[in-house]
A and B are shown apart, each in its own frame.
Chain A
């Protein structure tokens, strides 16, 4: 009750400030008048009565202050005054204020950007309800423990698993390739069949229309032919048509009614491949289901693993083919792969922006020190007329907080743009669902950052400046020569800035060197103007090996006839050639040689034109001819790595090898030549080309005719005269002319672009760009700090320098005495930075294995920093050399 009354009175005093002020004045005025009247009544002459009343009462202003003290608002009132005064003094020194605000804006902007990136990509990337409880029920094959795999469940197994205690809810899905049949050219559509509880599992409302609902597949009824579109598919195929709901999409000659479009951030299956459309699952549409599980709150991963293991052990007996021979369950929160992939990168980025922020803070401290020197007089006077040290410190801290808050406002605006950069440069490394938004936690973070930095850089100058030497300062008309304590702090700040800048520059240099090493990797093939087109072969089309081979050959020939096409080859291998997709890393044998351990090689199924298309030189022997290509058996070409490993004397040609993995695997999808797994003669040796990622050496490789083993899917590598995407339409038409239902995968990969999607390529590019950004910021900040110290030192010593010049000092000597202490500080800063770099090297090598911290990188960073620092010192120092001795001496 009393508390409420106090609140009300504070509220009035703050909000209706002028009214309360007026009221107090009126009341006190009334008091004086009443008192005057009383004095007159007792016989005092009116004028004298008024004078006495006023003297007795004291000044009305003082009374108002007493009123605020009485209700406890005086400190607030004083702070208000401090803020106004602070802004005025910042405004009076616009150069210093702008530089200080900008240096903090850079630091706070970069830090907020990386924080919002971490927030968006790792802390809250998914829009799904209870996303932190959703897990991939992955299993680890004991024989290949590095890569977690998925498992498929039959509908009855799925039902049984869904009753597990740890499970809150579960969805099942599977992916299938369908074809549009309502267009002139059939198009490949990736469909996800998903159980009908998807809407409630994800809790993400559709953008248009509705999501899949349980009644779409109600029991005892024909399942409805309905489809929900993915955002990207809706955008590309339907040009974001807002009236799409209700229209018909024909897939594999069946009509589906479009019932909705999902929002942009809904991309749930992208761990296994993105979908274009979502269709309610039924067992007639797809026999198996892959599960996604939402655990009950509080269930630990270990508990879930143990429970699911018992289920899966039982399922394995029913469907042994779905599971590896020995395995254990390891459920994985859906964020896990991203943490694994980018956690360390983001950690290092965050550390480096904190360093940048520290440099910005040091810069502000330097500026405040320098400005404080010229304000000593002001503080001395304030202190002489009774300001306590606390009030001066408070005044200075409020000024630094004003700087840091202004910096934070600009910084947050910049951060929005900066945070998006990594997502655009390295899209595969972050969840697709991630979106950078400015939200409450991020704003709170930046406000906190502003307060902390304001105190950080403001405290030391404030404590120092609040102890003015009153008598000395007020007596001397000229500025006092700098105080040694502040000089020491200044030097430490500049040295620290230089050292930290050196570390960041070193990191940036190492990242750029690492990226240069990756881009200059000798690939062993020429990816320029080569496009890879994926071609699904209809399962029922050609079961027969001869027919299928002829069909693929026919497709190849038609594409080869397109005018802009230089060379076409069939090749089943990864794009770009790197694991785990590069052909098969498979065992092989050499005729007449017993080997104690298994020999492995990457086996690629290609047509003889492959080496010409990719410009891989033939070193010796020959490539198989067309007749041999049609037959498929008995021939092979190997790469140099394999030849050198097993026939170091260079006599590989003519030897026989075979690979069991080329034998008919009995799958209805594949077709093999009669003796695919039998002995083949090595007819040629080709040069090595990268086939194991960009950083790894080339592994031994065997090339065999593609006709020896064909799946229901093949690829054409096509080299064109100019940009291959321009020829895409012609290529599509050529395929279509062979078979009007022949489709190709909707997106075609340019080989060069594919290289850029290599994780190590993208990550290193991101690293080098961001680190260069930050290092440049740091360099600019440190140089600004240097330049301002030198110019303030000159301003302070103008008098002294004038005398020196009058006594005959050379201009060069003047410049030298002005910059020598600063240059000495810079040199020691560089030495400290060098030592820091060396001591951090081992940690960084672990965190960024692709960086190259070569001595030449360190040397060039040192030179760069020295050169820039010298320029930053000399530019303002030139002003010192131009001092007119007569004028300075006359000034005082």
Chain B
């Protein structure tokens, strides 16, 4: 288990969208999947996780439906809507542009001036 990273502001939404885009999941499952993919390096506060989840649902990017969980319990499964997948695509593009720019600045050396 590596060092834990704090979540950057505004990134939780895109992480949820991405997690859901891999296949329908219930709320706890989304949380787990993000943590798994990050290799446990990302600690997500549970309180703000649901706020983000509900905000995304309210905006119509994901859609929740009640179903059966792996151990036969009733759970709400979320899946991406078309609007959500558009949103994910544009957000991901923005994110990679942003990281490119930030990386470029951070990797600058005195000689390149």
B-binding residues in A (CB < 8 A): 1-2, 4-6, 8-9, 23, 26-28, 30-31, 33-35, 37-38, 56-58, 62-63, 66-67, 69-72
Contact = CB atoms under 8 A, between A and B. Distances in A.
B28 A67 contact: no
Given A26-B74, A31-B28, A66-B47, A71 B69 contact: no
B60 A2 contact: yes
B60 A30 contact: no
Interface residues of B, number: 25
Interface in B77-112: 81, 83
A70 B26 contact: no
B50 A67 contact: yes
A57 B51 contact: no
Given A5-B83, A30-B26, A71-B55, A66 B50 contact: yes
A334 B55 CA distance: 61
10 contacts: A1-B83, A2-B59, A5-B59, A6-B58, A30-B27, A34-B28, A34-B73, A66-B51, A67-B50, A71-B55
B67 to A, nearest CB: 11
B9 interface: no
A2 B83 contact: yes
A27 B27 contact: yes
Contacts of A26: 74, 76
Nearest to B82: A1
A56 B46 contact: yes
Closest 10 CB pairs of A and B: A5-B60, A71-B58, A70-B54, A34-B28, A70-B55, A9-B58, A70-B51, A31-B28, A27-B76, A66-B51
B58 A70 contact: yes
A1 B82 CA distance: 11
Interface string B18-58: 00000000111001100000000000001100111011011
Contacts of B59: 2, 5-6
B19 to A, nearest CB: 15
A111 B27 CA distance: 57
Give chain A's interface secondary structure class.
helix
A693 B75 CA distance: 90
A26 B58 CA distance: 18
Given A30-B75, A34-B75, A70-B55, 20 more contacts: A1-B60, A2-B59, A6-B58, A6-B59, A9-B58, A27-B76, A30-B28, A30-B74, A34-B69, A35-B28, A56-B46, A57-B46, A58-B47, A62-B47, A66-B50, A67-B51, A67-B54, A70-B54, A71-B55, A71-B58
Nearest to B66: A23
Contact of A9 (B47, B52, B57, B75): B57
Given A27-B27, A34-B28, A35-B28, A63 B47 contact: yes
Given A26-B74, A57-B46, A67-B54, A6 B28 contact: no
B86 to A, nearest CB: 10
A27 B75 contact: yes
Nearest to A6: B58
A9 B27 CA distance: 18
Given A5-B59, A5-B60, A70-B58, A30 B51 contact: no
A109 B59 CA distance: 46
Contacts of B69: 30, 34
Nearest to A1: B83
Residue of A9, A31, A72 contacting most chain B CB atoms (<10 Å):
A31
A4 B28 CA distance: 27
Contacts, number: 74
A8 B63 CA distance: 12
Nearest to B46: A57
A4 B83 CA distance: 12
Contacts of B27: 27, 30-31
Contact of B51 (A28, A38, A69): A69
A6 B71 CA distance: 33
Contacts of B83: 1-2, 5
Nearest to A37: B71
A543 B58 CA distance: 95
Contact of B60 (A6, A27, A63): A6
Contacts of A9: 57-58, 60
B59 to A, nearest CB: 6
A594 B81 CA distance: 108
Contacts of B46: 31, 56-58
Contacts of A5: 58-60, 81, 83
A56 B75 CA distance: 20
Given A5-B83, A6-B59, A30-B75, A71 B54 contact: yes
A70 B48 CA distance: 10
Nearest to A68: B54
Nearest to A26: B74
Q: Which of B31, B50, B75, B81 has the most CB of A within 10 A?
A: B50
Most chain B beta-carbon neighbours within 10 Å: one of A9, A26, A30, A62? A30
A1 to B, nearest CB: 6
Nearest to A69: B51
A34 B25 CA distance: 13
Contacts of B75: 27, 30, 34
Among B28, B55, B57, B66, find the residue whose CB has the most chain A CB atoms closer than 10 A.
B28
Contacts of A30: 26-28, 69, 73-76
A31 B60 CA distance: 22
B90 to A, nearest CB: 13
A33 B54 contact: no
A717 B101 CA distance: 108
Max chain A C-beta neighbours (<10 A), residue from B46, B71, B74: B46
Contacts of A35: 28
Nearest to A59: B47
Looking at B46, B52, B58, B73, the one whose CB has the most chain A CB atoms below 10 A away is B58
A537 B46 CA distance: 103
Contacts of B32: 38
A1 B60 CA distance: 8
A356 B44 CA distance: 62
Contacts of A70: 50-52, 54-55, 58
Contacts of B71: 37
A299 to B, nearest CB: 53
A66 B83 CA distance: 24
B101 to A, nearest CB: 28
A34 B55 CA distance: 22
B76 A23 contact: yes
Nearest to A9: B58
Nearest to A53: B46
B73 A33 contact: yes
Contacts of A31: 27-28, 31, 46
A35 B52 CA distance: 19
B27 to A, nearest CB: 6
Contacts of B73: 30, 33-34
Contacts of B28: 30-31, 34-35
Nearest to A34: B28
Contacts of A57: 46-47
Nearest to A2: B60
A57 B47 CA distance: 7
Nearest to B56: A70
A466 to B, nearest CB: 30
Contacts of B50: 28, 63, 66-67, 70
Contacts of B60: 1-2, 4-6, 8-9
Nearest to A71: B58
Contacts of A4: 60
A69 B48 CA distance: 11
A74 to B, nearest CB: 11
Nearest to B48: A66
Nearest to B47: A58
A33 B73 CA distance: 10
A565 B32 CA distance: 110
